[in-house]
């Protein structure tokens, strides 16, 4: 990128006037992107609402098959990771580079714990033949459309898990950059906007948990 | 030199800046075309102007592909029975014509090609907010295109561009490749929209308040909002359809307890707002061109600016009018019909304001302005017939006939594409620094106008008489309409060839355009033609509205006097 300015600090790209403008712009861009993410999940939530209205008794029966305990553990794990990512941003603002790196690593670890638990939950269901749609073979739920619930379950949690994996990649990348000493209290824009993304991933799970696991 | 009191976008508080006049050079030495040269420099550039041009090239290529398919379809329809292709081939051709024209041409055409070029210049910015994402969006578009071409090579696609279930879950053609292509393409659209919103909010030059934004920017802003809010819903819809084919998840499959009408709801929740993604940027171009060639302030600035946002908003509430005959409930159908009439109001406000702008203007009939008049004529027909289709009783008769085909071609081609041509001719001197042949430009516009009406007016008539869309054969009574339509499409084809010819020729031996050949007050014209790599060699300062034609030109060429601080 052509940077023909001498007065700019190195992290400010050529088309911004100053560091503040760049920070505000990046943050706004991420917020706009998060709105787009909500609409993306919104489609799936809409499918959920339609089918729950059509087959209310199915949703009650099928939710009993989900393991509320491990779902609750995962909720705590993800909320914890949101806390650590917020602490990472706080460390960056206070110029505590060690705290930044440690908090990023804890966030990654918690995200991995979430994925492992989710993996065990999936594996457990596959054992019973609880697959999405036409591959569904389980006969423990007495409802002709039982597979529909699990199609929606796998789509929602699967797309969410994909976001967690992307988040792990992003946070690891931020960690590498932090290790190279690219951030300071003057410049921590990527930390901030990755944190925003991670909060959304957490938030979506907070909606998924009661909608899927806690139906009575 | 002088001072100007302005509020910079970043702080919002009033401040006094030292400004001086920067008269753009008429024969610039360094332009964005000469600064970075070579294939690699183009492929890795983050310059919004080059990216815009590469989009323009890609869109033109796909327009050629989609256009050839259209001509083949029209040729097949010359005779009531088979003319020269098989019925299955015909199904694939109309599907690909629709999918290519919608996803690869109309959606990116104005925002990603012309918008990319013009938007930062109209804001006095050096680039869009996220230049690397801008380049990424171009490559994502290319990857989406590759997926679609893989589908072409493997069985093609015969579902119609709307991918309606249950047929799309059963069809033996390559549905997955195209849905994945559309999924990927969506990201390109989302990135462009996100980029534009951030740029408009944060990168305006000192003095450009919301009330001094060019109406093209308001239109692109409304478009970007729709892109960001609607495109993810299409993404999840085509993802669900892909999963339906991969895993049989059954959400859209009645055999598995799902609902195919739900697919239509999901699809049109994107695809109806998407028609506003296509047409609203066109509105922006019309506002720019009509003021420049009337030499007059736009009539009803705020009415036009806010009606763009109103269209963006109401456009999200009308999707159900595509399902009047799909077994939607009577209550929903009535509500959607009413909301559909409502969206005509902001559109009508725009048309009336444009016409009022002409009143007592000194109108110059240059090629871009001729396209504006063609737009007003064709788009009004397209809009009114849309209202007729929104009327429940009429729609039951007209649904899925050629009447609908004619309606959306009048809107999409008579609206968006004509506006694109207006914008292309208007900004061509700025983009290339060269003038095209004005006489040939006028001949071209006449061919387009005649060819277009010859092609699509007969379709209204045969549609109202019951000719269904997408049919391979037809009964003899429609022969004359189909043949007129086909001949018209050839005239259109010749018109486009002529335009391509004289535009290409202008690159070789066109007259030098000079910085501002139309005498526009727009900020993008206060730079050299072609512009500098960073758009302006100073930081522009704006004190007047973009359409203040009663004020002298030098008031529009101000920049920060103390350059070193800001460049």
pLDDT digits (tens, 9 = 90+) for A75-97: 999 999 999 999 999 999 999 99
Residue of B nearest to A15 (CA): B126
Residues of A in contact with B248 (CB under 8 A): 132-135
Distance CA A181, CA A176 (A): 9
Q: Which residue of A13, A17, A133 is in closest CB contact with B247?
A: A133
Distance CA A136, CA A126 (A): 9
Distance CA B311, CA B226 (A): 10
Interface of A with B in 187-206 (CB under 8 A): none
Residues of B in contact with A159 (CB under 8 A): 236, 239
What pLDDT score does A4 carry? 43
What pLDDT score does B567 carry? 45
HSE of B234 in the Cβ direction (CA atoms, 13 Å)? 29
- Listed in order, strand segments (DSSP E) in B378-472 are 434-435
Please state the domain count of chain B.
1
pLDDT in tens, A118-170: 999 999 999 999 988 888 888 888 888 889 999 999 999 999 999 999 999 99
Q: Using alpha carbons, list the distances in angstroms from residue B450 to B374, B379, B441, B456, B462.
A: 10, 15, 14, 10, 19
CA B385 from centre of chain: 20
Q: Is the pLDDT assigned to residue B11 strictly greater than 60?
A: no
Distance CA B556, CA A56 (A): 64
Instruction: With cut-offs at 50, 70 and 90, classify the pLDDT of residue B101.
Output: very high
CATH code of the domain containing B297: 1.20.210.10
Distance CA B181, CA B238 (A): 10
Q: How close A24 comes to chain B (CA, Å)?
A: 8
Q: If you ran DSSP here, which 8-state letter would residue B24 be given?
A: P
Reported pTM: 0.95
What pLDDT score does B1 carry? 56
Q: Is the pLDDT assigned to residue B217 strictly greater than 90?
A: yes
Inspect the interface and report whether the beta carbons of B256 and A145 lie closer than 8 Å: yes
- Strands of the sheet containing B558-560, edge to edge, are B2-6, B15-21, B558-560
What pLDDT score does A3 carry? 41
Distance CA A67, CA B227 (A): 38
Q: How large is the average pLDDT for residues B74-82?
A: 96
Inspect the interface and report whether the beta carbons of B228 and A15 lie closer than 8 Å: no
Considering only CA atoms, which of A18, A60, A119 is closest in space to residue B539? A18
Q: How large is the average pLDDT for residues B326-353?
A: 95
Mean confidence (pLDDT) of chain B: 94
Inspect the interface and report whether the beta carbons of A43 and B229 lie closer than 8 Å: no
What are the sequence ranges of the domains in chain A? 66-130+150-213
The residue segments making up the domain with residue B167 are: 2-565
Q: Is the pLDDT assigned to residue B29 strictly greater than 90?
A: no
What pLDDT score does B199 carry? 97
Distance CA B321, CA B338 (A): 10
Backbone angles phi, psi at A10, to 5 degrees: -60, -30
Between chain A and chain B, the number of residue pairs with CB atoms below 8 A apart is 136
Q: Which residue of A15, A36, A155 is in closest CB contact with B126?
A: A15
Q: How close B202 comes to chain A (CA, Å)?
A: 6
Q: Is the pLDDT assigned to residue B9 strictly greater than 70?
A: no
Residues of B in contact with A190 (CB under 8 A): none
pLDDT in tens, B361-419: 999 999 999 999 999 999 999 999 999 999 999 999 999 999 999 999 999 999 999 99
Q: How large is the average pLDDT for residues B156-175?
A: 90
Instruction: With cut-offs at 50, 70 and 90, classify the pLDDT of residue B223.
Output: very high
Inspect the interface and report whether the beta carbons of A13 and B249 lie closer than 8 Å: no
Inspect the interface and report whether the beta carbons of B534 and A14 lie closer than 8 Å: yes
Q: Using alpha carbons, list the distances in angstroms from residue A83 to A23, A87, A173, B206.
A: 22, 6, 19, 39
Are the beta carbons of B518 and B525 closer than 8 angstroms? yes
Give the H or E element holding residue B524: none
Are the beta carbons of A118 and A74 closer than 8 angstroms? yes
Weakest mean pLDDT among B11-20, B146-155, B219-228: B11-20
Q: Is the pLDDT assigned to residue B92 strictly greater than 50?
A: yes
Residues of A in contact with B258 (CB under 8 A): 148
What radius of gyration do chain A's Cα atoms show? 21
What pLDDT score does B4 carry? 75
- Listed in order, strand segments (DSSP E) in A25-64 are none
**Angle B28-B31-B33 (CA atoms, 0-180°, nearest 5)?**
135
Q: Which residue of B236, B533, B564 is in closest CB contact with A44?
A: B236
Inspect the interface and report whether the beta carbons of A14 and B127 lie closer than 8 Å: yes
For chain B, the first-to-last Cα distance in angstroms comes to 19
Considering only CA atoms, which of B459, B5, B532, B272 is closest in space to residue A4? B532
| ipTM value for the complex | 0.92
Are the beta carbons of B406 and B463 closer than 8 angstroms? yes
Are the beta carbons of B410 and B449 closer than 8 angstroms? no
Q: Which residue of B46, B197, B262 is in closest CB contact with A50?
A: B262
Give the Cβ contact number of residue B119 at 10 Å. Answer: 27
What pLDDT score does A2 carry? 40
- Second-level CATH architecture of A66-130+150-213: Up-down Bundle (1.20)
Residues in a beta bridge with B16: B5
What pLDDT score does B324 carry? 94
Q: Which residue of B193, B240, B250 is in closest CB contact with A147?
A: B250
Q: Using alpha carbons, list the distances in angstroms from residue B556 to A113, A170, B31, B305.
A: 60, 45, 21, 21
Backbone angles phi, psi at B512, to 5 degrees: -65, 135
Are the beta carbons of B112 and B26 closer than 8 angstroms? no
DSSP string, B103-122: IIIIHHIIIIIIIHHHHHHH
CA A61 from centre of chain: 27
Are the beta carbons of B325 and B395 closer than 8 angstroms? yes
- Percent of chain B scoring above 90 in pLDDT: 87
Please, which residues have CB within 8 angstroms of residue A58's CB and are 6 or more apart in sequence?
A141, A143, A145, A146, A148, A149
Are the beta carbons of B506 and B520 closer than 8 angstroms? no
What pLDDT score does B155 carry? 87
DSSP string, B146-198: HHHHHHHHTT---STTTT-TTHHHH-SS-HHHHHHHHHHHHHHHHHHHHHHHH
Give the Cβ contact number of residue A94 at 10 Å. Answer: 11
Q: How large is the average pLDDT for residues B321-346?
A: 94
Helix, strand, or coil (residue B88): helix
Residue of B nearest to A132 (CA): B249
Q: Which residue of A24, A33, A132 is in closest CB contact with B202?
A: A24
Inspect the interface and report whether the beta carbons of A148 and B567 lie closer than 8 Å: no
Please, which residues have CB within 8 angstroms of residue B369's CB and are 6 or more apart in sequence?
B289, B290, B293, B363, B422
Distance CA B284, CA B218 (A): 7
């Amino acid at each position: 990128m052509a940077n023909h300015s001498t007065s700019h600090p190195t992290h400010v790209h050529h088309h911004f006037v100053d560091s503040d403008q760049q920070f505000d712009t990046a943050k706004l861009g991420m917020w706009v992107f998060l709105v787009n993410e909500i609409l993306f999940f919104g489609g799936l939530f809409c499918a959920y609402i339609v089918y729950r209205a059509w087959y209310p008794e199915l949703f009650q029966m099928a939710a009993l098959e989900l393991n509320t305990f491990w779902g609750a553990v995962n909720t705590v794990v993800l909320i914890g990771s949101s806390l650590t990512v917020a602490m990472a941003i706080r460390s960056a603002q206070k110029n505590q580079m060690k705290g930044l790196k440690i908090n990023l690593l804890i966030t990654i670890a918690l995200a991995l714990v979430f994925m492992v638990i989710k993996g065990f939950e999936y594996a457990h269901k596959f054992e019973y033949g609880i697959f999405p749609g036409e591959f569904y073979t389980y006969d423990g739920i007495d409802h002709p459309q039982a597979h529909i619930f699990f199609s929606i379950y796998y789509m929602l949690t699967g797309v969410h898990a994909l976001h967690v994996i992307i988040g792990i990649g992003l946070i690891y990348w931020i960690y590498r950059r932090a290790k190279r000493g690219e951030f300071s209290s003057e410049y921590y824009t990527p930390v901030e906007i990755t944190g925003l993304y991670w909060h959304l991933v957490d938030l979506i799970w907070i909606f998924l948990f009661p909608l899927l696991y806690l139906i009575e | 030199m002088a001072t100007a009191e302005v509020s910079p976008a970043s702080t919002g508080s009033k401040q006094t800046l030292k400004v001086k006049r920067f008269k753009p050079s008429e024969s610039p030495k360094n332009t964005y075309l000469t600064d970075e040269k070579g294939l690699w420099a183009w492929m890795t550039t983050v310059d919004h102007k080059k990216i815009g041009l590469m989009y323009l090239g890609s869109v033109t290529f796909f327009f050629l592909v989609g256009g050839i398919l259209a001509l083949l379809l029209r040729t097949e329809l010359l005779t009531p029975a088979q003319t020269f292709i098989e019925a299955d081939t015909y199904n694939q051709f109309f599907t690909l014509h629709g999918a290519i024209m919608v996803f690869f041409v109309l959606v990116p055409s104005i925002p990603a090609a012309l918008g990319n070029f013009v938007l930062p210049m109209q804001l006095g910015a050096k680039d869009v907010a996220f230049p690397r994402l801008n380049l990424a969006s171009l490559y994502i578009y290319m990857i989406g295109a590759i997926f679609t071409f893989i589908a072409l090579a493997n069985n093609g696609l015969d579902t119609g561009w709307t991918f309606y279930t249950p047929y799309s879950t059963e069809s033996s053609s390559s549905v997955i490749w195209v849905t994945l292509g559309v999924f990927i393409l969506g990201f390109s659209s989302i990135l462009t929209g996100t980029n534009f919103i951030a740029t408009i909010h944060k990168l305006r030059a000192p003095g450009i308040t919301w009330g001094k934004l060019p109406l093209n920017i308001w239109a692109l802003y409304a478009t970007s909002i729709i892109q960001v809010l609607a495109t993810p819903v299409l993404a999840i819809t085509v993802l669900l359809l892909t999963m339906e084919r991969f895993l049989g998840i059954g959400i859209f499959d009645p055999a598995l307890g799902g609902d195919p009408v739900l697919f239509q709801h999901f699809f049109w929740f994107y695809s109806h707002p998407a028609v506003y993604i296509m047409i609203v940027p066109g509105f922006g171009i019309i506002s720019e061109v009509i003021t420049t060639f009337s030499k007059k302030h736009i009539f009803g600035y705020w009415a036009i600016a806010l009606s763009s946002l109103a269209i963006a908003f109401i456009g999200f509430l009308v999707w159900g009018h595509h399902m009047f005959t799909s077994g939607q409930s009577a209550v929903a159908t009535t509500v959607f019909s009413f909301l559909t009439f409502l969206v005509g109001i902001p559109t009508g406000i725009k048309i009336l304001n444009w016409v009022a702008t002409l009143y007592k203007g000194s109108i110059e009939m240059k090629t871009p302005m001729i396209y504006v008049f063609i737009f007003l004529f064709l788009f009004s027909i397209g809009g009114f017939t849309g209202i007729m289709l929104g009327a429940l009783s009429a729609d039951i008769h007209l649904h899925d006939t050629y009447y609908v085909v004619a309606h959306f071609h009048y809107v999409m081609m008579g609206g968006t594409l004509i506006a694109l041509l207006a914008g292309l001719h208007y900004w061509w001197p700025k983009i290339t620094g060269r003038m095209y042949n004005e006489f040939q430009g006028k001949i071209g516009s006449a061919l387009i106008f005649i060819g277009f009406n010859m092609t699509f007016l007969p379709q209204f008539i045969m549609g109202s008489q019951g000719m269904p869309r997408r049919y391979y054969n037809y009964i003899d009574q429609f022969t004359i309409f189909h043949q007129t339509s086909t001949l018209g499409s050839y005239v259109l084809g010749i018109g486009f060839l002529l335009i391509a010819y004289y535009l290409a020729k202008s690159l070789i031996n066109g007259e030098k355009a000079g910085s501002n050949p139309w005498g526009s007050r727009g900020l993008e014209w206060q730079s050299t033609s072609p512009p500098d790599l960073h758009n302006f060699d100073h930081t522009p300062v704006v004190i007047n509205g973009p359409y203040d034609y009663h004020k002298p030109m030098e008031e529009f060429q101000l920049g920060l006097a103390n350059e070193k601080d800001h460049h």
